Each structure stands twice: as structure tokens, then as C-alpha cells.
A and B are shown apart, each in its own frame.
Chain A
Amino acid sequence: MIRKIFVIFAIAGLIMMLLPLVVNFEYKDSLNELSSQYVRGSIDDLKSQNVVTSVIVSYRGLDTLGEVTVLFLATAGVGFLLKHKKNKNSLRKASELLQTSSSFLVALIILFGIYIFVHGHLTPGGGFQGGVIIASAFLLMILSDINLKFNHLILHLVESFSGAFYVVVGLIGLLLGIGFLNINIVPLGNFGQLFSAGAIPIVYSLIGLKVGAELTAILNTMGGEQ
């Protein structure tokens, strides 16, 4: 009972604290200096159509590297926590419909995923989104065949090397003396084209592969759990 009162008090206090932020909130009517620089820079310096991608991969590349690391940690952590132990035939088999449809959908979804991360600098999307889509394809496979076994080694290799290459790509910039995670290490190309925005597509592809592999690994570990 006392607990409830405290909970109510806590929630009420929280609302009281946050309410001014909502009530007095006003949208900005122009970009601030920093974001204007980003928009201009994305067009002029990075030749990247998608400003958000520019921010993610280039300007705030360190964040993204961290983000990738976090995901990697989650994979490692989940793997560390859970044991791989497959318990066969304990679950109901997937329906015919799911099995059949998944068999041809998977390839399409993977293709779509690849499209998404390759075009990250041009259209909405990017490595993370693409990776998630790819993983969803594998989720579909797991759902359709619960006893499915993925080749761990390949997942592993993809995951590890894509991550490592990402860092190496960043390292190249540092070695060239133009700064860690600089995407200027390959020609920038022309604005609006697939091969533009320097190393952004490369980075995003690596991220896409990594995220796809990692999420699949997580799903695999969790799915294999009893």
C-alpha cells in the first residue's frame, strides 16, 4: 500500500518535472548552425544525398562505430549468457504455408536488404536498416524450420571481419593523416550517384553485413534456447 503511494508520487513527480518540457515546447523555425553546416557539408564536401547518412557515417562516425560495437556486444553478451542447446522436435512444426512462402521470400528479402544498405547515402535507409531486413529474412527461415542450423562459422566470420574492416576503413584515414573515420579515402564521386559520397557505401555495406549477421546470431541463439 505504501509502495503504491510512493509509485503514484513518483509518477506524479515525474509528470510534474516533464510537463513544462511538453507544454512550453515550440518547434524550431530554422535549422541551427550545426545542422545547417551538416546539410551544406553533405552536399558540398561529402557528395551524399542523404544528409542523415552523412551525419551517421561521417560526421558522427564515432557514434556509429560505437553503435556497431554495442550491437556486437549484445551478440557476444547473449551468446555468453545463453547456451546453444538445440532441443529437437519439441515445438510444433511450422505450417505449410509459411514454409513454402518463406522459401522464395527469403531471397527477395535479402536482396531488398542489400539494396537498402547499398543505397544508404541516396535514399532513406542504410546499413542498420538493411541489416535488420536481412536478419528478418533469417528470422523467417527460423520460423519456418525450427530446427534449422546456421553455419556458425560463416556468421561469425562475416560478423567479425565486417566489423574489423569497418575499423580498418576508418584507420586508413588516420594513416593517411586525414583523420580517423574520414570517408574521403576513396574518390567522392558525383552527387546523387550510387558510387558517390566516398567510403559511405562501403562503410554502410560493412555495417549492413555486420548487423545482419549479428541479429541473425542473436535470433539463432535465442531461438535455439529452450
Chain B
Amino acid sequence: MVNPIYIIILSLITGFLLSIFDKIGRKLSMTIFYGVLSFNLFVMAIWFYRLLVVDVTPLLINTAGFVAPISINLRMGLQEAFILLFSNFIALFAAIYLFKKFKKAKISSLVLYLILSMGVNGLVMTRDLFNIFVFLEIVSISTFALITLEKNLKSLSAGFKYMLAGGVVSTFFLLGVIFVYYFSGNLNLDFINTGTFNNLGMIAVFMMSLGIFIELKPFPANGWALDVYEATDSGIVSVIAVVNSAAIFYVFYKIMPMIPNNLLQLLGYAGLLTFVLSSLMGLKQENAKRLLGYSSIGQMGLLISAVVFTTNAPEFISILIVGGFLVNHLLAKAGLFWITGIVKKEKIADWGVLNHSKPLLILFGLLLFALASLPPFPGFWAKWEFIRWLIMEKMTVVAVLVLIGSLCEIAFLFRWFNLAVKKEDLQESQIETSHSMNLPVAFLAGVLAVIPVIIMKYFYQIDLIHLAPVIALIVIFIIEIIPSKIKGILSLITLGTYGYYLYPLLSGLQLFFAVIFIIGGGIILISTFNRKGLNQNFYGLLLMMILSLGNLLIAKGYLEFFLNWEFMTISSYLLFLRGKNARNSSFVYLIFSIAGAYLLMLGFAFAPAVSSDMVLLKSITQIQLPLVSIILMSLGFLIKSGSLGVHIWVPDAYAEAEDDVTALIAGILSKVGILGFFVLAVSAISHKPDIDIFYWIGWIGVLSTIIGAFLAVFQEDMKRLLAYSSMSQIGYIVASVAMLSHLGLVTALYLSFNHLLFKGLIFLAIAGVIYRTKTRNMYEMGGLIKKMPISYISVLIGIIAVSGVPPLSGFGSKWLLYSAFIEKGWYLQSGVLFFASAVSFLYLYRLIHSVFLGQLKYEHQNVKEAPIWFILPQLIFIIALMTISTFPNLIIQPLNAIVGNYIDSSIVIDGYKVTSSLGYWNGNQVMMVTMGVFMVPLLLLLLLIGKTQKVKQFNIVFAAERPESPQTTHVAHNMYAHYKKVLGGWGKPRILSFWNGVAEWTHSLGNLFRQFYTGNGQTYILHIILYMVVLYIILGV
């Protein structure tokens, strides 16, 4: 075992002598420099391993031959080893990243860097208060100097502000330390008992703690830090933001036992405030590095509040929370700062240049996802446990604020991501980079990717099948160079295998949703065979989404469910993002989805524990969910299902996604919210909540149907039209589940299945049309029935099924629906549903007429039928639709049985006849009669006019004149203008205005707060002092 003090010794000796070595040659000095940094990392690695695996007893290192408190001692425990392992890791790789700069810079820069790294090690290990001060100053001074590695006015003035602030802060720290010595007669942390301090002693402790605390950049005493982040070279700033911050954070952790509880709590809240406000302020930020700066101070705030609020938590939890946040922040932030240095674009709007380097873009995304605490990265687990813990401790407000802050953070991070992925690079500039800069980033991302496996395996013992979505993503990514079709076939095989694996584990409700997710997904997947070329980054995401959906069904306990929920969110977001103009739409989708996920997380946190060896869908039936839990989770599911009020992500996301993806989203992903509602429902059936919350959910569903239908009526873009139609249809399902009656649940399942069939069908047909005509605007089409007859038939059958006209299965759903509603006693609701169902005729007719009927446009004269890969899945859907229409038993009976597990059946099935308490329906007979009555006039007509006279286009009765052009003859644009008049003031997009208002207000608020940062160094000092004074006053009161 190498004594960790050798890190200090070696660094100092080489530090002192490095400039001498440099006289011999830069190569020598560089070799020594990197050698020492590697040595540091190596020492910490073996210590970390030793403390973790062999022996957990910390090593106490005395100096000067005396034991503490007479001499200064250092400590090497697991926590120190943990922090230093990562700090030295980043320090080494940041140095590698800076290789080219260091090669040219003055030798003093290397010396400063080496001593900085030594100072960080000392700072973390030392147990002496005054020694902390010394090491703090070592770190600070070397940092001050290194800030000017790129010597320009910005870095100079930022460094100067930093020095002023740092000087004042450390003065107060020193003042506090000296008075602590005065009151306790000791300087060693392990020998000071502040419990015996009087009021004066508390002032000393206050100043000391604040000295460290302000170094952690709490709002608003942190303007200097932001300037430093913005102005400093990326390599150095990564060290400042990551290595220094981690060390100082650990100092805070060390002195925490000395801090009286009321002050500690106050600091915790101050950290929280910092997190929330810096995330808010980040929203307005355009400069990449400053953006990361806001994120950094936010993360530090979060870390502080995490460490403060989890002091009483069991070790397992606090390690996961604090360690998770810390590692996440360290690695992700360092990597992102390095990327800013590689990209060399100040404005985030210019980051489209990243598109020239796909690997870098992927690394960027990876790090950003990690920073956003999305799974599987460490921050995800930390956030999960943190929220649970806060709720358990009845600190609901804190939990909510943490989530609000996180949401804002995700907003600004992903706005950046979307810009990088989607913004066109107009200047066609290239990224100049080198391996010494890329490798550290890649390595970091690699480490970040490994940690989750450790967490899942050792902390949670989660079945690694829940990593399958990620593994699928990675595997497909690796084989990205093979042609698209082969990847598609491989994906299908994977789905098949996965389904085969899943099948024995499933029953009842699970099986039903598995059919929708996996079989439905597989069928729609066929349509993607039409894609040409390599088609990169597609199948991985697709598989990830479908597998995570499948995993939802076998998730045990809340965490596994939530994990897959987040996987699903991420993968679907990335799929959306692939669309050509999907920058804004996917962003809105992500924000709403994440907000929904957070609501879900809160909801789970409030819920009582479930048994961990049973699938959540089953174990949840045994517990009573508290009301707040139900409300929060329902809100989450409402967002996911695009219900009224939170539906605004739906149209854009659907419309801008790639066309086959839209089919997948509409057919499959839209059901996941329904699955969520079923989770709630099966619990609520056996344990009725105190307030009938489901009644209101039902109303939301009902209103979604009508408003979705009306919104669909006025769309010109057919995908938007269908998106709103989906919102409307999902509204039916939500309302049906909310009834919590047998018939209601059967209806919901029936509708879900039906929705998969007809929406998959229509969207695929539409995808074919768009593929051929290259437009989504319906009024630009027309008359395509002659060119694309099969697509027309698909749409025709689809819309008959949607509208509920007999004899197709759509009527079955309508029959079940009204029976269920009237039986339940929701009369007015069923009236509204009827209205919605009538309105749906308007948009359905508009869709089919504007696209397929009427006048063919000249530019579409040579359009061909859709490619076979689009047609094939359509045929499968048509066959399925016809089968369950003719033999409704095939579906009603199993559904009846599934729901029968939870609630007694209220319908009688006799042959093909279904009888409810209100009426009856014989699907088979209806089909036969309809066929019959259809044949009668058809035969009659054939008999009377066997031969018709074929006429050309425009040969129509048009007041004896020929119309000018198909554009003017084809009545399609703004088809229901008169209905707009009818609605009058009711037709205004109020909800959209509301959300726009929310966005604007949030941004204005962020802008307001950041006015604190005037850029004047003097003002920053004033902030610091005022901050102390105000905190002191709050504490005194």
C-alpha cells in the first residue's frame, strides 16, 4: 500500500523541480508531469479498492512524528478515496485534454496545475481546520493563475473577480477558524466539540461554515463563478468546476458535524434555492460555457441540499444519493466542458457544427443525458432515492422544488441538444480536434456508462433484463454499418426472441399489453423496411422503445417500472427528434414527458411499498394508494396520453416525426399512458380512494375526446389531424378506465386494441401517401384513389373503424362505451361522447376526401401506389380488423376474462351475442346483415347499369363550364370554415396560450433573477457580504 501522503510529496518535489527539468526539455517535464498525475490516480485507485473490498478501516496519517491533535493528520477513508479517485481521474484526463496547450504554454502552467492537483488531494485528506485554509489557498491561487491560461481581457477580469470574492470569503473562513480555536482550544476536526459552544462560538462556526459554503457558489453570491466558467479555457474550467468543487464540497461535508442543525437546514434550503434558480436562469442563457456554469452551480446547490437533507438517512441511501449526484456531476460536467473546448462555439445556436462529427455528437448527447439525471446514469438513481427520502421525511416542498429545478435544467440542456442535433450549420465550418482532446471525453463517457451496471447489480439487484433496452441500443449502434434492411430483420428477430422470453412471464392484463407493444410494434416495424441506405441511429432507438415498453410489464416494484418508463421517454424523444423539422416538437414532447415522469416519481414516492418479488401490475392490487399518489400519477399518465390541458405536445410531435415512426407512436406508445391508468385502476378497484378522483379523470377524458375531435377538424396537415384524432380516441379510453367498472375496463381494453389496429392502419397508409407525394397538406392532394387504391381501401376501412359505424369493430367499441357509461350513470358524459363521435365524422371525411377523392393534381399524375413495405403491415391490420369485426368473440371473451380477474363480469356472452344490462349486440349477425343489404343494391345497380360511361377528369356538371384547375376545383382547404363561425369565441386556442404564457413567464423570471449578476466585481463582494448578513439575520430570528 502506498501511503497517500506520497501524492503530496511527489507532487511537491516535482512541482518545485519541474521548471529545472524543463530546462532539459519539454518532453521530460511533460513525461514527469503526466507520470505524477497518473501516479496520483493509481494510488487512489488502489486505496479505493482496498477500502471498498479488503478493509473499510480508514487510514490516519500523522505528520511530524506526533499523533493528532498535536500534529496535523490526514485521513484516508472510503469517502476520501471516492472523491479523490474521481478528482484525480478528472485531473489527469483534463491534463491530457490540455496536452497541446501545455506543450506550448509556459512551464509555470504545468507547475501550477500539478500543485493544484496536490492541493485538492491535501484539501480532501486533511483533518485540520487551519490546514484546510492553507490547502484552500493553494488550490485558489493556482486556480487564479491558471484561469489566465488563455490570456485575454475576459479571463483576466473574471479571474480578478474570482480573486476578490475568494479573498473575502477565505478571510471570513479564517476569522471563523481562529475563533473556533479560541473557543475550543483545538484545530483538529475530530477533537472539536461545537456542542459546547456558546452564542459567540456559534458566530465563529457561522463564519467558518459560510466561508466554505460561499465557495460552493450559492445564489446570489456566485456571480464571480459564472464569469470564471464563461471566460476560462475549457480544460481548466473543467478542473475548476469539477475537481475544485468536489474537494470544497467534501470540506463542507467534513465540517458538517460542527455546524448547528438550524444553520445546516438553512444552508440546505439555500442550496436548494440555488439549484432551482440557477436552473431557471439557465433558460435564458445563450452562451455554452455560461450555460454549463449555471448547471454547475445548480448541481452544487443540489448536492448541498442532498447532503444536508440526508444526514439522518441510512448509509445505503445517503451514499447512493450524494455519491450518485456527485459522480454524475463530476463526470458529465467535465466531459461537457471539454466538448465546448473542442467545438469552440460560444453561442449554443451555432452548435449545429457538431453534426460534422457524429461520434462527438453522440458523446455530447450521452453526457447531456447523464447531466440531466436520466437513466441509466448515476444521477437517475440518486434523484429517485432523494425524492423518496424527502417524501418519507415529509419534506414535500423540497422534493417538489428539486423536481421543478430539474425540469428547468432539462429544458435548457435539451434546448441545447436539439440545437446541436437539428440546427443547420450555415457556415459549413469544421471541427478541429485531436485525439488528445477526444479520448478523455470518450473515456469519461465510458466510465459513466459502466457505473449504472454497478449500481443496478450491487445496490439494487435489479434483473439485468432491464438493461436490455440500452444493450439493444448499443448493439445496433455497433453494427451501424450494415444495411438498413438487415438491421430491420435483426430487430424483428430480437423482438421475436424477446417476446418468446417474455411470454411465460405474462398473464392477463400483461399479456394483452404485450400483444399491443410487441406484436403491434413488430407489424409496424415491417414498414421501416422501406428505408434505404444505412439509416443510422434508428433501429437501436426503436428496439429500445419497444423493449422498455415490454419491460414495463414485468417490472417489479416502482423503481423498475419507473426506470423503464424513463427509457421509453428517452427513446421515443430521440425517435421524434429524427424528424426533419422536429427540433421544437421533440423538445416540447420531452419537457412534457419529463414533467410527467417527475409527477410519477412523486406519486410513487408517496405510495406505500409494494412487495418486490411480484410484478407491479399484480402487487399494486394489494395496497391502498393514497389520494395524493393517485392524483400525481394520474397527472403523469394524463400527460403521456396527451389528455386535455397537457395535449399540446401531441400534434407537433406526431406531425414532425418520421412517418413510419408516427404510426408506431400512435399505435403503441399512446397506449402506455393507458397501461399506467390500468395500474391505478386495478389498485383502486379493490381499494376505493376516499375522494372519487376517477370521476374527474373521467371528465378529463371525456373533454379530451370532444376537444381533440374539434381540433382535428380544423387541421390542414393530415398528420396533425390524425394526432388530434388520437388525442380524442385516447380520451375515450381514459374515460372508460376511469369508470372502474367491469364494462368500462373491457371497453378500455377493446378500444386500445382497436385503436392500435385502425391508427396503425391509417398512419401507415398516410405514410405511404406522404412518401409518394412529399407533402402533408391535404389540400395539396386529391384524387389519389385512382393512383393508390390499396392505400385508399386501408384508409376507408380505418375510418369506418374509427367512426364506429357498423359493421366493423369500431361499432363494438362504441356499443360497449355507451353501455358502460349509461350503466355507470355518467349520462352527460355519454352525451358529450356522442357529440365527439359525431364530430369525428367531420375530420375523417375531410381526411379521406381531401386526399383520395375530388380532383387529382397535375403534379400527382404519375404517383404510384405506396411501396410494398407500407402495404404489407396494412394488410395484416386489415385482416385483423375484419376478423375481430366478424368474430367479436375472439377479442371480447379474453378481455372479459382479463377484467374478470379484478371485478365481476357484468355482461353475458352467448355465442356471438353480447348482452349488457342495457342492450345487446351480435357482431357476427350485424356483419351478415350488412353484407346482405350491401349486396342487394349493388346487384340491382349492376343489373341496371352494367356498363357505365367512363369520363375524364373535369368532365363534371359544372354549370356548363369547365373548371380552371384542380387546385380551385378541389374543395379542401379550410373545409369547415363555417364550423369555425359556429364555435366563435369557443374556438380560441386557450390552452396553447396558457402554456405559452407559462413558458414566457418562466423565462422572464429567469431573466429577472440573473440581473443580479451585473458583472461588477465589487457588486459580487457586496453580494457575498449581504448574503452572510442576511443569513445571519434569518438565523437570529
Does B186 lie at the interface of the complex (its beta carbon under 8 Å from any beta carbon of A)?
yes
Closest Cβ of chain A: how far from B831's Cβ, in Å?
61
Complex CA gap A156/B61 in Å reads 32
Chain B residues contacting A161 (CB-CB under 8 Å) are 16-17, 20
B71 touches A59 (CB 8 A): yes
B200 lies within 8 A of chain A by Cβ:
yes
Q: Is the CB of A164 within 8 A of B16?
A: yes
Q: Is the CB of B108 within 8 A of A184?
A: no
What's the least CB distance linking A66 to chain B, in Å?
4
- Chain B residues 106 to 138 lying within 8 A of chain A, measured CB to CB, are 106, 108-109, 111-112, 115, 118-119, 122, 126, 128, 130-131, 134-135, 137-138
| Chain B hits for A178, CB < 8 A | 65
Q: Which residues of A contact B959 (CB under 8 A)?
A: none
Query: B111 contacts A13, CB within 8 Å?
Result: no
Q: Is the CB of B70 closer than 8 A to any CB of chain A? A: yes
Q: Which of A111-119, A131-139, A165-173 contacts B (4 or more CB under 8 A)?
A: A165-173
B64, B66, B122, B137: residue with the most chain A Cβ atoms closer than 10 Å? B64
| Residue contact A179 to B141, C-beta cutoff 8 Å | no
Residues of A within 8 A of B624 (CB): none
Whether A21 contacts B115 in the complex (CB less than 8 A), given A59-B70, A63-B134, A73-B142, comes out as no
Chain A residues in 8 Å Cβ range of B71 = 58-62, 179
* Interchain CA distance A193-B364 in the complex, whole Å: 66
Residues of B within 8 A of A3 (CB): 1019, 1022
Q: In the complex the two chains form, what is the Cα distance from A24 to B783 in whole Å?
A: 95
Distance in Å from the Cβ of B332 to the closest Cβ of chain A?
30
Of B108, B135, B137, B148, the contact of A76 (CB 8 Å cutoff)? B108
Check if B203 sits within 8 Å of A41, measured CB to CB. Answer: no
In angstroms, how far is the closest chain B Cβ from the Cβ of A59? 5
The count of chain B contact residues (Cβ–Cβ below 8 Å) is 63
Q: Main SS of chain B's interface residues?
A: helix
Question: 1/0 per residue A52-94: CB within 8 Å of B?
Answer: 0000001111110111011011101101110000000000000
**CA of A80 to CA of B106 in the docked complex: distance in angstroms?**
7
Residues of A within 8 A of B72 (CB): 59-63
A79 CA / B128 CA spacing, docked (Å): 31
Known interface pairs A21-B200, A80-B109, A168-B13. Does A38 touch B145 (Cβ–Cβ under 8 Å)? Answer: no
Q: Known interface pairs A62-B131, A66-B131. Does A14 touch B145 (Cβ–Cβ under 8 Å)? A: no
The interface residues of chain A lying within 8 Å CB-to-CB of B111 are 76
Give chain B residues whose Cβ lies under 8 Å from the Cβ of A163.
12, 16
Interface size on A, residues (CB 8 A): 62
Q: From residue 44 to 65 of chain B, which have CB atoms closer than 8 A to chain A?
A: 61-65
B450 at the interface (CB under 8 A from A): no
Chain A nearest CB from B940 CB (Å) reads: 91
For residue B773, CB closer than 8 A to chain A, the reply is no
Inter-chain contact A20/B203, CB cutoff 8 Å: yes
Any B CB within 8 A of the CB of A34: yes
Is B1025 an interface position by the 8 A CB rule?
yes
Could you tell me if A81 and B115 are in contact, using CB atoms closer than 8 angstroms? no
Q: Chain A residue with minimal CB distance to B156?
A: A81
B514 interface contact, C-beta 8 A: no
In the complex, A180 Cα to B9 Cα: how many Å?
A: 9
Interfacial chain A residues near B19, Cβ < 8 Å:
156, 160
The answer to whether the Cβ of B39 comes within 8 Å of any Cβ in the partner chain is no
Q: Given A69-B12, A167-B16, does the pair A81, B148 have CB atoms closer than 8 Å?
A: yes
Knowing A34-B70, A156-B19, A157-B20 touch, does A70 contact B141 (C-beta < 8 A)? yes
Q: Does B867 touch A at the CB level, under 8 Å?
A: no
- 11 A-B pairs whose Cβ atoms sit less than 8 Å apart in the complex: A10-B1022, A13-B1026, A17-B1029, A60-B71, A61-B63, A73-B115, A74-B141, A160-B17, A163-B12, A164-B13, A167-B12
Known A13-B1032, A21-B204; further 10 A-B contacts with Cβ < 8 A: A11-B1025, A14-B1025, A35-B185, A70-B138, A77-B108, A79-B106, A80-B112, A81-B145, A157-B20, A174-B5
Using CB atoms and an 8 Å cutoff, list the residues of chain B in contact with chain A.
3, 5, 9, 12-13, 15-17, 19-20, 23, 61-66, 69-72, 106, 108-109, 111-112, 115, 118-119, 122, 126, 128, 130-131, 134-135, 137-138, 141-142, 144-145, 148, 151, 179, 182, 185-187, 199-200, 203-204, 207, 1019, 1022, 1025-1026, 1028-1030, 1032-1033
The 3 closest A-B pairs by CB, nearest first: A13-B1029, A32-B185, A77-B145
